[in-house]
Structure 1
Amino acid sequence: MHALPEDHTGVRIARLRRERHLTQRALSDLSGIPYSTLTKTEQGALPATPHVVNACARAMQVETATIVGQPYAGDLRADELDVLIRPIREALDVYDLGADPDVQARPLVDLTAEAEALCAAVRAGEIKRAATDVAGLIEETTTAAHIAQSREGWLALASLYRTGYDVAAKLGFPDLAQLALARMDWAAQRGSDAVFGGMYQYLRALTYLRAGQYRTGQRLVDLGLRALEQADPSREREAVTGQIHLGGAVMAGRAHDEALAMSHLREAERFAESTGEAVKVHWLAFGPTNVRVHRVAVLAELDKYGEAVEATAGLSIPRDWPKSRTSHHYAEVARAQMWTGKLDASFQNLLAARRTAPQQAKYHPMVRDTYAGLEAAHRRLPESFLSYGSWLSSAPSA
């Protein structure tokens, strides 16, 4: 019995391949994915890695999100999140219209605090809260920023645009995420903040990472690093610079460029030695722990799953780490453990990912594909395993 009969990335690859009148051999040749890997992925005997998904997407000229199934429309409706997307889009559209005479904006100090609280909510895995509140706050802060014409106002607005990006990216709306980033850049330029400019390029690079466009993503990483060179020396600048190197490491790892990936990791480690644990600097969770966590991720992207599992030895997540980042790490560990045959341990980490940030885990493609891989590997499925699949496919988030 399959708990997720429709949520199978391999099935989507096969359907799209047939729609384009391609044989498995032809898609293997076009994508560069070994024939046996492709056939087993379509059958569900192997889970689809990001490398396989992105290679197939490029070969068939479709969006990566189409293959992974995002946005998960039925689940969004069940969790009453679908109705929150349009207000965010509408709030992003009024960025240059000036102050709205029908909006009574609170003082900027209050709006800045609200923007910071929403950043914290996203990091705590409270996606529904952020999605519910961000549109109204963007509209209010847009008016306040146009009236004040101050650095404080523009940066508060930039922060809220970033939250709009976070919500869109986590729920699987890449076009909306791109729009929110463009608005973030617009506001950051008016706030004359070079660090925010570097952040913009970093987040922009992540959108290309998700789309499998690694060359463009790496160019954006380089652009972000150059932008940060224009900022005044500070711990903030070092933390963001280090985080961009971590993003570059994952980008290179997914492109299977091991030398470049390890170079970025070494640079990030050097900055982390200087900053220490800078968890709340732009809510990036940068520091020595994040370097170790990214090393696990990079090794997995390089298909070195055994080494990725070994890299988790002695790795302890600080209590003040954002739950969203912790949950993502558990999902990455679960994936590596699944590939090395540690199936029970893998499922325990999927449970940990859900327990830590349930709303995020439910909409995380890696969680879904790892679950599907475990399902294919198990002959007899315990009730707890099947209930996890039911939660992924239909139950409202906690």
Structure 2
Amino acid sequence: MGVPGPGANVARLRKEKGWGQDRLAAAAGVSTSQLGKVERGQRTLTQGVAASLARALGLPLEEVLGTAPVPLNAETSLKSLYAAVRRFDIPGDQTVSAEELSLSLRDMVVLRGDGDLSNLLARLPDLVAKTQAHAHSVNTPESWAMVSQAYSAVYWLAARHRWMTLADLAVTKQKIAALQADPVSLAIAARDEAGVHLNHGEFGDGLSVVDRAITQVEASTTGRQRAYALGILHLRGLTLAGRAKERHTADQHIQRAWSLAEEFHNEANRHGIHFGPENTAVHIVATSGDLNRHQDAVSTLAELTKNSRKITLPATRISPLHMNIARSELALGNRDKALEHLEQAWKLGPQLAKVHPTAQELLRVLISRHKRSNPRLTKLARMAKIQF
């Protein structure tokens, strides 16, 4: 079962409400022409515009974007994960060593980096249960940091599928655990909390969370930890500001992130969350697209990969990078280049591309614009389970 394209949902939701295009466009602050192109598959629906449409329709953003269905063979794992989350405050009877948990958490980081959503979902219920039992048993900052890390993975998985009830629960538990851990864990929890606001289309609220967390980090950390914590928060800030079309705020976060990234020759990686020059560039590519600075997005990628430099980030970061470059190339009128990058996104992270709204929208628009049969598009459409 495929994920319906976000733009394809808009006309259906509008008609269910009994609204014409003029009424919805006016309520959302977009042109009727733009809305019509989105509904017909001639223009990609960005998540910023989707948030405006969701607010106008009085619907959750995930309903407009389309919630990814739970695969039939994963329903048991998802139910088990919810059960583990509900037992957050209940000491478990499982005995497990810190060393064993560290290894399991490292495996989880690899699965997350590879974009292996199915195996991550299969393993998370047991990992969440064991980290919680261990933390209740030893009650040390290190043990609660492990719980916080596990819940960061739960949030990430839920956000990818737009399972927002689970995402909301995950960041709540993550923050409680992080408060008993360390300042960097708390900064990661704030980043994920702001991410929930991002996923709901509440960009201003997300920026408020980021600003508050930045103040806390500046008062509680020093050295490399401080640079890392501030860096991941500024990356979240520039993404939120870009979606909100707040160019000045976005540029402030971009400048600060670049400055902090200069302190890292290689990408810093804590629990699968990267910061450094590469991930900063990846975020700037996406935000440049959100702000309609499409040539800037293409130039940023060219600078990142000049002299045949290979990007060291995992697939879960490079696949969305190609999606966002494809979006900018399409906006610049370069359909062939857009298709090339979309193919790369699918090659590097097929499970991620299958549920990602940007990948879905790009494929829908490319199909709409190609008047002749294209075997490459047909192949992607079959993988996405989209009618061609």
Q: TM-score, normalised by structure 2?
A: 0.94
Alignment partner of 2:304: what SS?
Answer: coil
**Greater mean alpha carbon deviation, residues 63-72 or residues 28-37:** 63-72
Q: 1:81 aligns with which of 70, 74, 84?
A: 74
Is 1:129 paired with 2:122?
no
Is 1:189 paired with 2:186?
no
Alignment of 1:1-398 (within 5 A): 7-73=4-70, 76-77=71-72, 80-98=73-91, 100-101=92-93, 103=94, 105-191=95-181, 193-316=182-305, 318-393=310-385
Alignment partner of 2:302: what SS?
Answer: coil
Q: Which amino acid aligns with 2:337?
A: A
1:205, 1:232 → 2: CA distance? 20
Q: Which runs of 5+ in 2 are unaligned?
A: none
Q: Which amino acid aligns with 2:322?
A: Y
1:294, 1:154 → 2: CA distance? 29
Contact 1:239 1:278 in 2 (8 A): no
User: Residue 158 of structure 1: CA displacement?
Assistant: 1.3
Contact 1:236 1:281 in 2 (8 A): no
Q: Which amino acid aligns with 2:192?
A: L
Deviations 1:219-241 (A, max 9, x none): 01101212212333131221121
**Greater mean alpha carbon deviation, residues 228-237 or residues 314-323:** 314-323
Contact 1:252 1:261 in 2 (8 A): yes
User: Residue 308 of structure 1: CA displacement?
Assistant: 2.0
Contact 1:198 1:224 in 2 (8 A): yes
Alignment partner of 1:275: what SS?
Answer: coil
User: Residue 81 of structure 1: CA displacement?
Assistant: 3.2
Contact 1:157 1:184 in 2 (8 A): yes
Deviations 1:80-123 (A, max 9, x none): 3343211111111101012x23x3x2211211221132123201
Distance verdict in 2 for CA 1:282–1:233, change over 3 Å: farther
RMSD: 1.8
Contact 1:145 1:153 in 2 (8 A): yes
User: Residue 318 of structure 1: CA displacement?
Assistant: 4.3
User: Residue 128 of structure 1: CA displacement?
Assistant: 1.6
Q: How many positions carry a matched residue from both structures? A: 383
Contact 2:6 2:357 in 1 (8 A): no
1:265, 1:271 → 2: CA distance? 10
Distance verdict in 2 for CA 1:310–1:359, change over 3 Å: same
1:9, 1:172 → 2: CA distance? 12
Q: TM-score, normalised by structure 1?
A: 0.92
Deviations 1:6-33 (A, max 9, x none): 8333331111112222221111111001
Alignment partner of 1:313: what SS?
Answer: helix
Alignment partner of 1:209: what SS?
Answer: helix
